[in-house]
């Protein structure tokens, strides 16, 4: 390709333009302050109220989760991981029921003190929720459970050897014969809709100790809990609160594609992917759930450390992949 530089090359390839002019708007606190405040160690599970737990059971099993009935509530777990990842509660209409985060053992009392300083009261758990842990509500009114426990380890994954970019690691082995482990290993993150980006960001960072990873200006905020995944939680701007998607790590790019084929063959063919995201960089495929939100398989997400600097970006949500479905960012949950 002649002339025009990298931007012209990207346009010629049909790739989205990336605006490399960024401003750091005081998003990132010092690493020392963040680690002092960091008590949340991960997203434990999310819960949805949905009509028809029989449909929910069919959908979650097709996605690759194991399900079990818990006194009339449906629990979904990743194979090989002893931790609930999603909870489904029977209700007339779909809505976000609650969020649950794991908290480092020995830090819950300090977190209670911080909640008191910010005048955040403890509340009773919503109907259909476990009573364990400490319950509060965020600025949008969503119930949040804080569980003092270590996250359960995901099942081990066999390393995926590649021959890419002049680096050769796979010899005398046919890669297509190695794509056998394709089921979800762990819940990685969830994104919710909010009409209150700034109050929600302040609450989850200043009160609960998460940190901003990056933002798509005016649209999406990604949050992390320290070294590890680029984000475990985040917000999408909307007119009202709601649930957008839960995202599960699978062992490989092949696992994403084969899982999407499995869902399509089971009758769940509406989705978005295959592609690679911009912020977080993970490969993705989303499938629309029966209630107007989404579920995602991901692999190869950016791993960040204390030195990571959060920025505001003016970029599309994906580096490559099919066009974003028109309904992808539509919040179909009823306003309360």
Three-state secondary-structure class, residue 203: helix
User: Does residue 221 sit within a domain?
Assistant: yes
User: Does residue 330 sit within a domain?
Assistant: no
Domain extent, residue 257, equals 40-151+184-320
Three-state secondary-structure class, residue 325: coil
User: Does residue 336 sit within a domain?
Assistant: no
User: Does residue 8 sit within a domain?
Assistant: no
User: Does residue 179 sit within a domain?
Assistant: no
DSSP 105-144: TT-HHHHHHHHHHTT----PPPTTS---SEEEE-TT--EE
Q: What residues does 137 pair with on adjacent strands?
A: 143
User: Does residue 172 sit within a domain?
Assistant: no
**Which CATH number covers residue 210?**
3.10.180.10
Instruction: Give the total number of structural domains in the chain.
Output: 1
Q: Tens-digit pLDDT profile for the chain (336 aa)? A: 333 333 433 343 344 444 444 344 444 444 444 445 668 999 999 999 999 999 999 999 999 999 999 999 999 999 999 999 999 999 999 999 999 999 999 999 999 999 999 999 999 999 999 999 999 999 999 999 999 999 999 999 999 999 999 999 999 999 999 999 999 999 999 999 999 999 999 999 999 999 999 999 999 999 999 999 999 999 999 999 999 999 999 999 999 999 999 999 999 999 999 999 999 999 999 999 999 999 999 999 999 999 999 999 999 999 999 999 999 999 999 997
User: Does residue 143 sit within a domain?
Assistant: yes
User: Does residue 168 sit within a domain?
Assistant: no
């Amino acid at each position: 390709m002649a002339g025009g530089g990298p931007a012209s090359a990207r346009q010629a390839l049909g790739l989205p333009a990336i605006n490399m002019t960024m401003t750091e708007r005081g998003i990132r606190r010092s690493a020392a302050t963040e680690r002092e405040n960091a008590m949340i160690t991960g997203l434990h599970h999310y819960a949805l109220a949905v009509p028809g737990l029989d449909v929910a059971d069919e959908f979650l099993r097709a996605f690759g989760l194991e399900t079990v009935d818990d006194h009339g509530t449906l629990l979904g777990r990743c194979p090989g991981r002893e931790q609930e990842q999603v909870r489904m509660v029977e209700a007339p209409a779909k809505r976000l029921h609650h969020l649950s985060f794991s908290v480092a053992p020995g830090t819950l009392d300090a977190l209670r003190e911080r909640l008191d300083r910010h005048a955040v009261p403890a509340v009773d758990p919503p109907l259909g929720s476990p009573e364990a842990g400490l319950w509060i509500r965020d600025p949008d009114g969503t119930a949040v459970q804080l569980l003092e426990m270590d996250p359960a380890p995901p099942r081990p994954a066999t390393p995926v050897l590649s021959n890419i970019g002049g680096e050769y690691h796979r010899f005398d082995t046919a890669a297509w014969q190695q794509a056998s482990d394709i089921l979800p290993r762990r819940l990685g993150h969830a994104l919710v809709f909010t009409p209150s980006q700034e109050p929600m960001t302040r609450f989850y960072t200043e009160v609960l100790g998460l940190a901003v990873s990056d933002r798509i200006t005016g649209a999406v905020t990604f949050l992390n809990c320290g070294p590890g995944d680029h984000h475990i939680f985040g917000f999408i701007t909307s007119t009202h609160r709601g649930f957008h998607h839960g995202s599960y790590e699978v062992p490989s790019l092949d696992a994403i594609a084969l899982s999407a084929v499995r869902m399509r063959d089971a009758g769940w063919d509406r989705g978005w992917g295959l592609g690679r995201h911009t912020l977080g960089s993970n490969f993705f495929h989303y499938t629309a759930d029966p209630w107007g939100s989404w579920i995602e398989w991901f692999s190869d997400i950016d791993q960040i450390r204390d030195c990571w600097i959060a920025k505001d970006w003016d970029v599309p949500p994906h580096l490559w992949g099919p066009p974003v479905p028109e309904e992808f960012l539509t919040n179909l949950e009823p306003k309360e």
